Each structure stands twice: as C-alpha cells, then as structure tokens.
Structure 1
C-alpha cells in the first residue's frame, strides 16, 4: 500500500508552479544519489538564463573566475584552467606549486565535459571519480547544468560518510558557475 503524503496530494497546477518557481529562482537541487562503504554518487543541478554555448564557454574558459578560491589548494595565488581536450588537464598553478585536479576524458562542446580523478582531499586518499558537467535545454528556456560525481576506491573508512560533505562542496562549486552566468546575463 502506497503511503500518501501532502506532496502526493498537491494539485498538478501547484506542483507545476513550484517546479517553475524553483527553475527560475536559481535554487539549486542537490542529492546524494547513492552511497556505500566503497563509494558514492552525488548530483547537483542549477538552471541558468543563458544558452548552452554561453554556459560551456564560461565552464571551460572562465573556470578561474567562477570556481570558489576557498576550494583550491593555494587560494587567490592559484590560476585554474580546463583544457577541454581528451587527455588534457583541469589544473591549478601557483608559481612552482601545481596540481592536476582531474584529467579530461570526454568532450562534447555545449553538452558534456567528463573528467576523472579525485578532487581535493579525495585525491590524497587515493580515491578516483568520474565528474561530468552535463548541459541541456531547461524546460522554460536557459540551460540546465548538472554536476554529477561518482567516487570510489579502497579506503579503510566508510566512503558513504563522505557523500554529504562532497555533495555540499559540489553544490558550492556549481553555484559559483551559475552565479557567474547569472551576473553576466544581467
């Protein structure tokens, strides 16, 4: 027997209105899609009022302008770059200090950017992940950007415990891109 909740009983027009409001208000959605002792998947979504080509350009060419500096190894000293070619690098350079955050593995301009590696402390833990930025037309115009990150590997710790924290960090990073695009659109 299915349990009826208040949301399930809401009229269709109310559900549509709420969905539309969320899409246009810039509210993001975040979710730990799954987790276990050996890994997890997180997904964050933002809808921005620009076309996919504009979003792609900002994603790839302006990463140093929108990625939060407090989520880099060397803060304001750092220069971030994404070379959108298979085998290339999402890198951070601060003089002689350098980090290859991820390796680009798939590029479909305006649609998908896939990179592999471990971001932040996950890298030092020897964990590996596949991160995708997926761009698609939003229902009411603009572009829906989905940041999807699946992480796994050996750890003496339960990796599922890291999922909520990584999800929150990914939300901040995606919000950086979305806010950058919203400001540029004004």
Structure 2
C-alpha cells in the first residue's frame, strides 16, 4: 500500500501557491497552514474541494488510486477511500475501505472541518483537525482559501521530521485543488494577523437568543380561570 511517508521526494514537494508553513510545533504536536487567493467564487472552490479524486495525489493513497476517494460534506460524513478492483467481466467492485478523516463541521462555500490522522499518523495516538475555510477577497470574483491542520497527541515520530513532511504533502494537495483557478495579479495575502477560520467568517444572520430569565405566559393559561385561582378570603 502507498501512503504518506517521510522521503526526500516528499520533502522536495512543491509548496502551496501563496503561503505554507509549520506555524507552530512542540514535542506533542504541530500546526501547519496554507493560504492562497485565487480568481474563483467560494462555491466553485467548494465544489472542487468535495471531489478529492480529481486532485489528490495517488501516491498518498492507501490503494494506489484516487478513483475511490470521496467526501460526504455533512456532520459525521466521511472523507474516505474505497479499495476497488475490476473483475473478469469488467465490473468494478469495492473490496475494502479506509477513513482518512470525518466531517465535524460543514457550511457550503465557507467552512469544511474534518478530524483524522492522515497517512502514517493513523497508527499513532493523535488527533488531527483540518479546517478548510474560504471567504470572498477584496478583488472582484476572488476568494481567499486556507488549509489549517492541527495535530496533537502521542506519536512515535519526531515532530521535527514528520511536521515538515506532512506540511509538504498537504501543501501539494492544496495546490492541486486550486490549479484550475487563476491566481489574482496582486501579491498573495500575508499570514500575519490573519486567521481564516470559522471564528472570523460571517456565518450568516445571527439569531437573538432568548433571555432565560424572562418567561412568557401561555395565552391559554392566561385565559384559564383555574390556572391562577383567587386568593382565599380569611374567615
């Protein structure tokens, strides 16, 4: 089986189109970020994101093919890979599967957040959380996109080795996903002071929460003569 491994080829992989970095690292985890601004709408990028079979490098699959890759973009949905074979009659059948990540937050055209330990991290006692966020940029028709992958827990790999490797591999998939879209002419966005995540995105009109200290009487109770009986007069 082929999977994400630490090799010289991985370490030499092409970086993402705008910004790529191991943003933070410790003995127990790391955070990598990839950011780009491209000439496309959030909906166009969302549609592309949900078709990993079209951009994920098969060298970083378990089956050696991305034909069985898919993302079910709803809570508890799967970013999965099907092991497929073609029988003597030319019929494709599924003979196994693997979960790369599981969806924990999905809002089309804005945020897709998934949890899963990618590649060799799957065998370790770690949690990996990938947030893919997007929002319209200042340029007409452009969108700012980011991958942020946070990994933490116990692993038998040295963070100083595995973090750059994961950064390069994930950056390659980020770049491949955005290949159909034309980058704008201006300079790429700077990461300083920029956090493209659900905390900073406009998630739509907010609903005013009810004040738990306020209670509203039920009209039916208000009109019920036995609901609130008159006080008994003293004898």
The TM-score with structure 1 as length reference comes to: 0.78
Indicate if the aligned counterparts of 1:28 and 1:175 stay in contact, CA closer than 8 A.
Answer: no
SS class of match (2:74): coil
Classify 1:47/1:96 alpha carbon distance in 2 versus 1 (closer, same or farther; 3 Å). Answer: same
Paired residue secondary structure (1:127): strand
Aligned length: 156
TM-fit CA distance, 1:157: 4.1
Match of 1:45? 35
Residue by residue over 1:126-166, the C-alpha shift from the partner in whole angstroms, topping out at 9 and shown as x without a partner, is: 32111010111223241111000000111244324321111
Any unmatched runs of 5+ in structure 1? 1-25
Structural RMSD (CA): 1.7
* Residues in 2 aligned to 1:143 and 1:77: alpha-carbon distance in whole angstroms: 27
Deviation at 1:125, TM superposition (A): 2.0
Which residue matches 2:147?
Answer: 147
Say whether 1:82 aligns with 2:81. Answer: no
**For structure 1, which segment, 111-120 or 45-54, has the greater mean C-alpha deviation from structure 2 after superposition?**
45-54
CA contact (8 A) 1:32 1:163 kept: yes
The answer (yes or no) to whether the contact 2:106–2:112 under 8 Å persists in 1 is yes
Which has more helix, going by share of residues? Answer: 1
Question: Hey, what does 1:66 align to over in structure 2?
Answer: 55
Aligned residue number for residue 31 of structure 1: 21
**TM-score with structure 2 length normalisation?**
0.62
Gaps of 5+ in 2: 1-15, 84-93, 183-235
Distance 2:175 2:24 in 1: 22
Moved over 6 A (4+): none
